[in-house]
C-alpha cells in the first residue's frame, strides 16, 4: 500500500482509513508520538468533564446550538435519542453519508478549530471508551454526536456514576 495520501483516490472508507492510519503512524513516529498523546489527553479531559458535570449542562463549543440544529437537520436519521445513543459505524461511514458528512464538515472549517482533526468517539453512549466501542472520526463529527447525546441527557449517567466515587 502506498504511504502517499491523496485527496480522493480511495474507492471506499476502509482504504481511506488505512491511508489515514499510515499517515498517523508516520506522523507519530516523526513527532515522538505527540499526536497519539494529544488524542489520549483530549479523550481523558472529555471523560473527566463528563464525570464532574452532567453532560446535559455541558457546552463543548461556543456554537453547540448551531452544530446540533445543523446535525439534526442534515442527518435526520441521527436526530433521535436512540440513533445517537448507539452508532452504527457502517451507516455512519456509508458512501451516501460520506458525501453528506464532507459537506457538513466544511461549514465549520472557519468556525471550529481543528474541525477535521481526528478524534475518538464511543459508538455506544452507555459505555466507557473501550477498544470495541470506539471509532476514529473527525472532530466535528465527534462534536455533532456528543452535543446531541448531551442534549438528550445520554451522558448524564457518567456523572451520576462517578459523583459518589
Contact between 147 and 71 under an 8 Å Cβ cutoff? The reply is yes
61's CB contacts (< 8 A; 6+ apart) are 67, 112, 143, 147
Q: List b or e across 37-59, with b for residues whose CB sees 16 or more CB atoms inside 10 angstroms.
A: eebeebbeebeeebeebbbeebe
Question: What is the model's pLDDT at position 31?
Answer: 57
Q: With 50 as the cut, is the pLDDT of residue 5 above it?
A: no
Q: How far apart are CA 158 and CA 127, in angstroms?
A: 9
Name which of 138, 118, 133, 121 is nearest 25 in CA terms. Answer: 118
Measured CA to CA, the distance from residue 82 to residue 90 in angstroms comes to 16
Considering only residues 165 and 77, tell me which one the structure prediction assigns the higher pLDDT.
77
* Consecutive H or E run containing 153: none
Say yes or no to pLDDT of 13 above 70. Answer: no
Q: Which of 1-5, 10-14, 47-51 has the highest mean pLDDT?
A: 47-51
The helix (run of H) or strand (run of E) holding residue 135 is strand 134-138
Domain boundaries 33-162, corresponding CATH code: 1.10.3560.10
Q: Average pLDDT for residues 20-27, to the nearest whole number? A: 64
Apex 35 CA angle, 95 and 146, nearest 5:
50
Cα 49 to Cα 46, 89, 103: the distances in Å are: 5, 25, 30
Joined grid coordinates for residue 37: 498523546
Please write the tens of the pLDDT for every residue from 35-89.
677 777 788 899 999 999 999 999 999 999 999 999 999 998 888 898 899 999 9
Amino acid at each position: 500500500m502506498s504511504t502517499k495520501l491523496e485527496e480522493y483516490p480511495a474507492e471506499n472508507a476502509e482504504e481511506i482509513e488505512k491511508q489515514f492510519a499510515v499517515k498517523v503512524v508516520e506522523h507519530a513516529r516523526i513527532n515522538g508520538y505527540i499526536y497519539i498523546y494529544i488524542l489520549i489527553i483530549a479523550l481523558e479531559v472529555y471523560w473527566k468533564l463528563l464525570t464532574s458535570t452532567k453532560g446535559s449542562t455541558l457546552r463543548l463549543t461556543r456554537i453547540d446550538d448551531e452544530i446540533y440544529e445543523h446535525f439534526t437537520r442534515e442527518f435526520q436519521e441521527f436526530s433521535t435519542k436512540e440513533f445517537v445513543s448507539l452508532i452504527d459505524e457502517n451507516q455512519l461511514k456509508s458512501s451516501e453519508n460520506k458525501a453528506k458528512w464532507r459537506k457538513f464538515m466544511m461549514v465549520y472549517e472557519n468556525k471550529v478549530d481543528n474541525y477535521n482533526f481526528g478524534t475518538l468517539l464511543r459508538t455506544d453512549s452507555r459505555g466507557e471508551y473501550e477498544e470495541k466501542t470506539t471509532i476514529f472520526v473527525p472532530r466535528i463529527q465527534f462534536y455533532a454526536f456528543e452535543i446531541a447525546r448531551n442534549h438528550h441527557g445520554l451522558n448524564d449517567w457518567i456523572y451520576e456514576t462517578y459523583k459518589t466515587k
